[in-house]
Amino acid sequence: MQLFDVYPLFDITPVRAEGAYVYDAEGTRYLDLYGGHAVISIGHSHPHYVQAIHDQIGRIGFYSNSVKVPQQMELATRLGRMSGYDDYQLFLCNSGAEANENAIKLASFHTGRKRVVAFRGSFHGRTAAALNMTDDPKLSAPVNMDNFPVTYVALNDPEALSAALSGDDVCAVIVEGIQGVGGLGSPSDDFLRLLESECKASGALLILDEIQSGHGRTGKFFAHQQAGIRPDIITIAKGMGNGFPVAGVIISPAVRPKHGMLGTTFGGSHLACAAAIAVLDVLESEQLMAHVAEVGARFKAALEAIPQVVAVKGRGLMLGAEFAFPAKEVRTRLLMEHHIFTGASSNPNQIRILPPLNISWQQLEHFIHALETVLR
C-alpha cells in the first residue's frame, strides 16, 4: 500500500528530538522554530512528560467514556485554575477541527439558531462545519459547500460585524485569538471587547479558537486574555498535548449539558489526560508563560531591527516576519544551510515562527544571526 500523497515533504527524517532540537538518523541537529506546527509547547521529549505517559500506559491507557476517568476531572480542575476559567466546563476530544465542530454544535443547540459569523483569513480545521467556517474555498469539496449559513466579515471592522449580527439568526461568532494559517492577523483588544458586547446583545455565543494561540503561546494562557474578555466557548488543541493528540472545548456554565449531546470514542482517554496534565505541570513549574512574555518581546524587537523585515505580526512566540519579497527561498535556505525549521502562512512573503515555549534566548539569537546571513 502507498501513502495517500497529500503532503509536500522536505527530504528530512527526524528520528529523535529533545527540547528545541530535532535530530535525523545521521545525527544532524535541526533547531525547531516551527514546533511541529505550533504543537510542541513544553519542548520535545520533556522528561516529565515522557515519564507521565510511560507511567500511565503501564497502568491503563484507555477504556471508554462509559466509566469514570479521574484523570479527566484532574485535567479539568488544573486547566480551569491555570487558565482562569474555573467555573467553566470541559469537553475532551482529539483534534482542533473536532473541537470547533463540537463548539459550533453547542452554540446551535444552545441558541436554536443556525447562522455563523466567521472572519476573512480564518482557519478552523478540515471537518465539515470547521471547513465551512474557514476562509479558503480551495479546501472545500462540493459536499462542504452547500447550505451552510456563514457570513464572513473582515477582522477589526465594527460596521461589518454589526451588519452580520443584525438578524436574530446567528448562533455564534468564531474568531482565532491570533490567526495562524491566515498570516498572524489579530483581532484588536477593542474589537474583541466589541465582539463580546455585540454577541451578548444579539444572543449569539462568542467562540474563541485558541487552538494555535492558547496554552501560553502568547505569554498569557489564552491570547484573548490580553483584552480582558470572557468568551462563551474556547477551543484548544495543539500545545495542549505537546504532540499527543488531545483537544478540548471549554464551555461557559450558561450552556447546560444533556446526556448524548456530544460524544467521542477516544476523547479524554487516560493516556491523553496524562499527557495534557504533564504539559500543565511543566508550564507551571518552569514558568513558561513568563518566559514567553520576556523572550517573545525581545525576539520581536530583534526581528523588527532586521532591515529586510517589513513587518512582524503576532505576539509572544507566535510571530510572522514579513519581507517585501517571497519568503520561500529564505525558509529553504534556513533549513538546508542552517538546519532551522520555520513555518509558512497564506501570506507568501511571511515566515511563521512557532518554537517550543521553553526555547532559550541563545537559540532565538542563533536563528536571528542565521536569518541575517541568509538575507545578506
Ligand X SMILES: Cc1ncc(COP(=O)(O)O)c(C=O)c1O
Provide DSSP, 20-53.
TEEEETT--EEEESSHHHHT-SS-BT-HHHHHHH
**Residue of 43, 96, 239, 296 that binds ligand X (CB under 6 A):** 96
76 vs 38: CA distance, rounded Å:
22
**Residue of 212, 225, 358, 363 that binds ligand X (CB under 6 A):** 212
User: Residue 98 or 309: which CB sits closer to ligand X?
Assistant: 98
Determine if 125 is a binding residue for ligand X (CB under 6 A): yes
Site string for ligand X, 171-210 (x = CB under 6 A): -----x---xx---------------------------x-
User: Residue 202 or 217: which CB sits closer to ligand X?
Assistant: 217
User: Residue 136 or 304: which CB sits closer to ligand X?
Assistant: 136
Stretch that binds ligand X, among 50-58, 90-98, 158-166, 265-273 (CB under 6 A): 90-98
Minimum distance from residue 134 beta carbon to ligand X (Å): 8
User: Residue 202 or 343: which CB sits closer to ligand X?
Assistant: 343
How buried is residue 7: exposed, middle or buried, by Cβ count under 10 Å (0-12/13-18/19+)?
Answer: exposed
What residue number has its CB nearest to ligand X? 96
**Residue of 110, 113, 124, 215 that binds ligand X (CB under 6 A):** 124
Cα–Cα–Cα angle for 219, 224, 228, rounded to 5 degrees: 100
- The single-letter code of the amino acid at 40 is I
Determine if 211 is a binding residue for ligand X (CB under 6 A): yes
The three cell numbers locating residue 307: 532591515
Minimum distance from residue 298 beta carbon to ligand X (Å): 25
Provide DSSP, 219-244.
SSSSGGGGGT---SEEEE-GGGTTTS
**Residue of 31, 97, 234, 272 that binds ligand X (CB under 6 A):** 97
**Residue of 21, 85, 119, 123 that binds ligand X (CB under 6 A):** 123
Query: How far out from the chain centre does Cα 61 lie?
Result: 25
b/e per residue, 293-307, with b = 16+ CB within 10 A? bebbeebbebbeeee
Minimum distance from residue 310 beta carbon to ligand X (Å): 24
Cα–Cα separations (whole angstroms), residue 340 to 18, 21, 126, 282:
14, 9, 28, 25
- Where do contacts with ligand X occur on this chain (CB under 6 A)? 95-97, 100, 123-125, 176, 180-181, 209, 211-212, 237
